[in-house]
Amino acid sequence: MPCTVIVGAFWGDEGKGKIISYLALKDKIDLCVRTGSVNAAHTVWIEGKRYALHMVPATFVYEGCRLLIGAGANVHVAKFLEEVEATNVKNRIGVDCQASIIEEKHSMQDKISAHLKGLGTTGWGVGPALEERVRRTAKLAKDIPELQPYLTDVAVEANNAINAGKKVLLEGTQGFMLSLFYGTYPYVTGRDTSASAVCSEAGVGPTKVDDVLLVFKSFMTRVGAGPLPGELTKEEAIKQGWFEIAAGTGRERRSAPFNFEIAKKAAIINGATQAALTKLDALYPKCKGARTYDELPLEAKEFVKEVERQIGVPVVLIGTGPEALDIIDRRS
Ligand code: IMP
Ligand code: MG
């Protein structure tokens, strides 16, 4: 804080939604900018209710937070309007005039292209929508009648908030290993997912950022095609308690143990200053629901220390259950 960038370290689904919703409530985040597009779903559990957010920032859980979608983002209009309704945030959400639009035709292109099918994309059409943007034929948010009430200049709002000392969060989507530049190309998404790219999409310069919080899950998962070092069979994953179904697409996730080499690379290239480690209870069931570090069993503490030693960044938040508040907060 005051300006923190949150990014995922692996292939998305590290639990960013949970971490972001916790910070929103705990730190009373004043303003949040979401980046990326509709392919990413951030899961938020609040008071027993589950939200899988494709467009609305996961900080919506704190009513004092201004919610924004940056100029670098790519907006799915129907999904945006549906989620604005479901989360009841009509009076505090804004979309940058220059954000681009993802249309039905892009989803069709994604689904019929043998190449894109082979990559196992989410099928939303984000790659084709970004291609269109690069061709400079894309529709922008300012061209869409239904978005008129929400239009704003996100970079101006975000920088004004930072300069006024407000608490600002830049919400990265997907994960570092899906980055177009640094991930497992061609099995990647259509954009760079690193912290620098998140700043660029939001319109905030690198000198304005105080912290980069890198979110790790205690094991790794991946949906779609592409390499996953140490991949388990589905049977092994079920036995370990690591078997997951994707929040966005309902697809089965593949899983593998935590990989320190990938974690180190993610910490370096994202310039991480802090780390979060989610789902520690999936590795050590005795951690479930713990809210203080002292409650953790010795082997869980050893794992946390090993992560810190190898990535060279303090693990400040530890997830121990699905609800936003199932967290050990080690920030002083
Ligand atoms: P696309 O982003 O839909 O083009 O899909 C490209 C690859 O990224 C596929 O392997 C997808 O499964 C993966 N992917 C895209 N967004 C997410 C996400 O939010 N979580 C996990 N995987 C994702
Ligand atoms: Mg997800």
Nearest CA to ligand 1 atom 2: 189
Nearest CA to ligand 1 atom 5: 121
Catalytic residue among 42, 54, 76, 106: 42
Q: How far is CA 171 from CA 89, 149, 204, 306, in A?
A: 17, 23, 12, 27
Atom of ligand 1 nearest to the CA of 249: 12
pLDDT of 246: 85
Environment class of 299 (CB within 10 Å of its CB; exposed 0-12, middle 13-18, buried 19+): exposed
Q: Give residues with Cβ within 8 angstroms of 324, minimum separation 6.
A: 18, 21, 22, 25, 44, 45, 46, 61
- Which residue from 117, 189, 221 has its CB within 8 A of the most atoms of ligand 1, so it is best to mutate? 189
pLDDT of 247: 72
Q: Give residues with Cβ within 8 angstroms of 233, minimum separation 6.
A: none
* Rounded distance from Cα 141 to ligand 1 centre (Å): 23
pLDDT of 32: 98
Domain span at residue 302 reads 3-329
- What is the mean pLDDT, run by run of 10 residues, along the chain of 332 residues? 94 96 97 97 92 97 98 98 98 98 97 94 97 98 98 98 98 98 98 98 98 98 96 95 86 96 98 98 95 97 98 98 91 87
Please tell me the distance from the alpha carbon of residue 68 to that of residue 58, in angstroms, as a whole number: 11
* Rounded distance from Cα 284 to ligand 1 centre (Å): 28
Phi, psi values for residue 277, rounded to 5°: -125, 110
* Rounded distance from Cα 148 to ligand 2 centre (Å): 28
Structure tokens at 125: 């059409």
Atom of ligand 1 nearest to the CA of 224: 10
User: Is 13 among the residues known to form the active site?
Assistant: yes
pLDDT of 204: 98
pLDDT of 249: 79
- Which residue from 122, 180, 220, 228 has its CB within 8 A of the most atoms of ligand 1, so it is best to mutate? 122
Domain tally, the chain: 1
Token pair 């400079």 is found at: 136
* Rounded distance from Cα 176 to ligand 1 centre (Å): 11
Identify which ligand lies nearest to the alpha carbon of 222: 1
CATH of the domain at 34: 3.40.440.10
* Rounded distance from Cα 9 to ligand 1 centre (Å): 14
Nearest CA to ligand 1 atom 12: 224
Residues in the ligand 1 pocket, defined by CB under 6 Å: 11-13, 39-40, 119-122, 124, 126-127, 174, 178, 189-190, 223-224
pLDDT of 250: 85
Structure tokens at 268: 């370096």
